[in-house]
C-alpha cells in the first residue's frame, strides 16, 4: 500500500514522532493515526467495531481540513 500524507499543515507535528496524521492511499481510502479511545468511550460503540477494526480519536479540524 502506498501512503501519501495529506495531514493539514496546522496539524503536522515537527517535534515528535507520535502525532495524529492522515494519509491517502491508492485504494481510494485514508489511513488515520490518532489516539485510542478510552474503555468507556469505546463501550458507547459496542457492536459497531468489527474484530479487525479500531476506533480512534483525532482533532475535528484535522479531518475538516483534508482536501
* 11, 21, 24, 39 from 31: Cα distances, Å: 15, 8, 6, 22
Query: What is the pTM for the complete model shown?
Result: 0.78
Expressed in angstroms, the distance from the first to the final Cα of the chain is 20
Q: Give 40-60 pLDDT, tens digit per residue.
A: 999 999 999 999 999 999 988
- Percent of the chain exceeding pLDDT 70 equals 94
Domain region containing 35: 3-64
Number of domains comprising the chain: 1
Q: What are the start-end ranges of the E strands in the chain?
A: 3-5, 21-25, 30-33, 35-36, 56-57
DSSP state of 54: -
Amino acid at each position: 500500500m502506498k501512503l501519501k500524507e495529506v495531514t493539514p499543515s496546522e496539524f503536522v507535528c515537527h517535534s515528535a514522532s507520535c502525532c495524529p496524521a492522515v494519509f491517502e492511499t491508492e485504494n481510494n481510502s485514508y489511513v488515520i493515526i490518532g489516539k485510542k479511545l478510552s474503555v468507556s468511550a469505546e463501550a458507547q460503540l459496542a457492536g459497531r467495531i468489527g474484530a479487525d477494526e479500531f476506533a480512534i480519536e483525532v482533532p475535528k479540524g484535522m479531518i475538516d481540513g483534508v482536501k
